[in-house]
Chain A
Amino acid sequence: MNSASELEELRKGILSKRDPDKPCIAICAGMGCLGLDNGRVISAFEKEIDKKKLKIKVDIRTTGCHGYCEKGPLVVIYPEEICYVEVTPKDVPEIISQTVLRKKVIDRLIYTDPDTGEKAAHQSEIPFYKNQMRHLMGNNTKIDPRSIDDYLAVGGYSALSKSLLEMSPKKVLDEIKKAELRGRGGGGFLAGRKWETARNAPGKEKYVIVNSHEGELGAFMDRALFTGNPHSVLEGLIIGAYAIGSHQGFIYTRHDTPQLKSNIDMALAQAEEYGLLGENILGSGFNFHVEVHLDIGIFVSGESSALMRSIEGNAPEPRPKYIHTSVKGIRKKPSVLNNVETWANVPLIIDKGSEWYARTGTERSKGTKLVSLSGNIVNTGVAEVPFGTTIREIVYGIGGGIPNGKKLKAVHFGGPMGGSIPESLLDAPLDFDELSKLGASIGAGSMLVLDEDTSMVDVARYFLDFLSNESCGKCVPCREGIRQMLRILTNIRDGKGREGDIELLEEISEVTGAASLCALGKTAADPLLSTLRYFKDEYEANIEKVKSPAEKRE
């Protein structure tokens, strides 16, 4: 394609071939549903449709993650948008004959509220979805990630043509800055400022990178988004590259999710075929190429400088960052690294304008945020909420609360480098700065919900144990500091704690935080510190128990 009009014509062509009233069965093929054997559900649908010779009348679409992983395998029947949960291959013939052909809702397959017994037939009525604002994830049910036509049908790549053909790079950058888009990977750094630094950095060769490493424990929303809608990320990446003047992009992703890799490869090939990637994109004269790199499964390789070293073909060890990677990154060239979710926000901003975008969210955190809910929660899954939503709303409104009638003890954000907040602070809003103030940085967006049976000492120990394995070992404060903290915590957990341990922990964590090379070490003690902040009594009780065995005996 060589111009915007050709793109629009193609889009019209795709849309005209599609009948909006034609039944379409969207089956979730996300990671969570795959594990629930949805492969058998998909093949059952295919077989059944073959058997009934409905191939022309009914479409089947295997999509990316719908988000409501807990109730998988999920099936949504369009155009009515009837949502069936926990579908098994046995249900398939009935779904085809009843719902698809006769438009009848099957009662036993729709969502039932476990508390009220209320039923919800449509996706938009299910509390899990109802309380979300799905700007990024919403298209996941409407798109087969392996079909660029599906993405074009929902308006994809119009932001790209708009920025390449109607806007100057400077203007694109200004839009992003005005939207106050903040990095979703954990730092919350303003993407616009990062781009500007790279744009103004000397040198012709510049790089843009998608960080899809997602090493954060309990975080799976980037995977869900990227696997389910790879073109949206790719579009954002190309726009970003245009804004800073880069002609080479990298996608850095996990080696252990083959589905993601194959969807990305497919998306790149299709975009290239359509002239949306490669030389002279849409006739604008802008060239851009993308390489996919696989990480090797270590936590620290998600750190920007380590990631870039890994792309260069070296071991992923971080370097001191007195010079930002946006000035000297891959091969010492300016490199802009953004998270999957950040890139996916870009087309949205360009398409609908920064003003529209900035209307959602809080004063300093704009837009929506994907969070992954896990742990002791009824509804595990990926949810998208506007910034400013309270944690209580997310946990109870969307997450459905704590299973087995237990009470909530804490919510842990940001995995091994985040922090926990206790039940009493649940009304805090989801916001980069507000949560940081509470000692629980939002991280990439994983929310681990812990019930009353959880020992917070054990949770802190668990994360340190993880980090001690994942530390690259290059700098001493991180390597040794984490190890010593882990040792003390293990002692406390096993009832061998001593008086003064808490003070010692605080002291070590201060040094580790101040002296470590990269964010891994700098924030390693965060879970520990936040649990110390809110659950100090648990530590003390654990130590106390040992100190006075006599009392215990009584």
Chain B
Amino acid sequence: MAAGPTFEPRILGFLCNWCCYAGADLAGVSRFQYPPNIRVIRVMCSGRVDPAHVFRAFSTGQDAVFIGGCHLNDCHYVTHGNYDAFAMVYICKKLLEHIGLNPERLRLEWVSAGEGIRFANIMNEFVPGIEKLGPLGKGEGLDEQGLKFKLDAVTKLIPYIKLVQSERLRVPERTEEAYNKFFTSEEFNRLFNELIADKLAESQIMALLRERPHSAGEISAILGLSPSEVSRHLNVSARNQNVGTAAVDNNKIDLIINKHQGKAGSLVQVLLEIQHENHWLPLDVLDRVSKKLDVPLSRIMQIVTFHKTFSLIPKGRHDVHVCTGPSCYVRGSTRLLDKVQDLIGIQPGETDRDAKFSLETGNCLGCCNLGPEIIVDEKHHGRVKPDKVKDVLKNYE
């Protein structure tokens, strides 16, 4: 154990006024012995404990959090708040696991006012367990900064998570079995990944980018995501106007705009040319176009997000198009595309880790005699068999 016997875990307890707090009191009055690591905050109901409280506790250096409430169906309120605590803890555990922390650090127990001995027993078991886990973060092999970063990202997302919980993750029936069943189901897993995990990744990427610019490769290394995922998240964030700043020569932009005589009708042409020049459209550039052409940014965004041609995120050095037109399709473009995806490890619409390739599927480009074909940077490579893809792509650096 790296921390050794000197490690004294800091544990924060949220105990419900009516049951667990009274139970803990009874344990004290009855002189039951248990390790003195827990600091207790009394709440009126375990249902009052918010994920924000839990993550704030972790962010401020607690090694574990304990929540104690009344036994299920014994809640002193008609709202049965302890079921809310039940669901909340399930989701928080999932979140902890997701960011690489041991979910055992969060514990929920039902202790009634008469169960002083139970409270002491739980503590006798919980505290040594946490001791074994070691300090928060260190025990899991996360560095301090990474830990803080991840906890911040989750904390920022909590209002959203609560919304998702009330909208999509509600268990219709208030029984223990129903809760256990739902939160251990594949369905919950899927919803969690779909609704929360993706958002969390985006939130982490945003936090990273706020610090300083990172390449897609760096992001994927820091967060342990696949390049394909990073690219997908960047796409979504860009559409929501969250990312996209880069140093582009403003003079160049002005030249392009002036070439089209600054007419509002030439907006599309201006955007196309900038896209061609720069390979993507940073937000500040769009802002400049908006001011220069006197077109609202909202309309520019409408056009930019309407077309696949425009990109709001940086692209790779080489554009790889796999034609998926009907002629290529009947000549086997699907297998070709699979092979390309295998080789560079990304899906259409994405950019790989080293920003070398961006992959797109192009609809018919009118070289049907060449099908199936790959077009790299406007150079056509025709009649490509899947096993020849490597030879085509190796020429690009």
Contacts and interface: CB of A to CB of B under 8 A. Distances in A.
Contact of A34 (B263, B268, B302, B380): B380
A314 B369 contact: no
Interface stretch (B57-65, B118-126, B215-223, B305-313): B305-313
Contact of B364 (A218, A376, A412, A472): A218
A411 interface: no
Contacts of B308: 297-298
Contact of A313 (B266, B362, B373): B266
Interface string B317-334: 000000001110111000
A293 interface: yes
Given A31-B367, A296-B310, A450 B380 contact: no
Given A376-B330, A472-B306, 19 more contacts: A31-B366, A32-B366, A32-B367, A32-B369, A35-B382, A36-B369, A220-B367, A255-B272, A255-B276, A257-B365, A296-B272, A298-B308, A312-B265, A372-B368, A374-B368, A375-B327, A415-B364, A459-B330, A470-B363
Interface string B290-313: 000001000100110011111000
B364 A219 contact: yes
Contacts of A315: 299, 302-303, 306
B371 interface: yes
B346 interface: no
A119 to B, nearest CB: 22
A184 interface: no
Contacts of A183: none
Contacts of A293: 268-269
Nearest to A379: B369
A35 B368 contact: no
Contacts of B268: 293-294, 296, 310, 313
Contact of A296 (B264, B299, B309, B327): B309
Contacts of B306: 296, 298, 315-316, 472
Interface string A430-451: 0000000000000000001011
A214 B368 CA distance: 14
Contacts of A376: 330-331
B370 interface: yes
28 contacts: A31-B380, A32-B367, A69-B367, A72-B369, A215-B363, A218-B364, A219-B366, A220-B367, A293-B268, A294-B268, A294-B269, A294-B272, A296-B268, A296-B272, A296-B306, A296-B309, A297-B308, A298-B306, A298-B307, A298-B308, A299-B363, A313-B265, A313-B266, A374-B369, A375-B331, A375-B368, A412-B326, A448-B330
A215 B307 CA distance: 14
A374 B371 contact: yes
A446 B254 CA distance: 41
Contact of B366 (A220, A258, A296, A451): A220
A256 interface: yes
A129 interface: no
Contacts of A380: 327, 368-369, 371
B368 A69 contact: yes
B267 interface: yes
B66 to A, nearest CB: 48
B107 interface: no
Contacts of A32: 366-370
A256 B155 CA distance: 45
A342 to B, nearest CB: 18
A220 B368 contact: yes
A125 B167 CA distance: 73
Q: Which of A218, A294, A466 has the most CB of B within 10 A?
A: A218
Q: Which of A35, A215, A372, A380 has the most CB of B within 10 A?
A: A35
A462 interface: yes
B378 interface: yes
Interface string A461-487: 011001000101000000000000000
B369 A462 contact: no
Interface of B: 263-269, 272, 276, 295, 299, 302-303, 306-310, 325-327, 329-331, 362-371, 373, 378, 380-382
A223 B366 contact: yes
Interface in A186-231: 214-220, 223-224
B325 A297 contact: no
Interface string A21-40: 00000000001101110000
A32 B328 CA distance: 13
A518 to B, nearest CB: 15
Nearest to A415: B326
A70 B369 contact: yes
A311 interface: yes
A254 to B, nearest CB: 9
A258 B267 CA distance: 19
Contacts of B310: 296
A520 B381 CA distance: 31
B380 A255 contact: no
Given A256-B365, A375-B368, A454 B330 contact: yes
B330 to A, nearest CB: 5
Nearest to B366: A220
Interface string A304-332: 00000011111110000000000000000
Nearest to A317: B306
Nearest to B321: A256
A381 interface: yes
Contact of B303 (A36, A314, A375, A415): A314
Q: Which of A70, A297, A299 has the most CB of B within 10 A?
A: A297
Contacts of B266: 313
B363 A217 contact: yes
A59 to B, nearest CB: 27
Contacts of B330: 375-376, 448, 450-451, 454, 459
A530 to B, nearest CB: 14
Contacts of B302: 315
Given A256-B365, A298-B308, A312-B265, A36 B326 contact: no
A205 B382 CA distance: 46
Contacts of A35: 367, 369-370, 373, 380-382
B364 A217 contact: yes
A470 to B, nearest CB: 8
A87 B17 CA distance: 90
Contacts of A36: 369-370, 382
Closest 8 CB pairs of A and B: A220-B366, A35-B380, A374-B368, A374-B327, A69-B369, A380-B369, A313-B267, A313-B265
B260 to A, nearest CB: 10
B327 A218 contact: yes
B325 A218 contact: yes
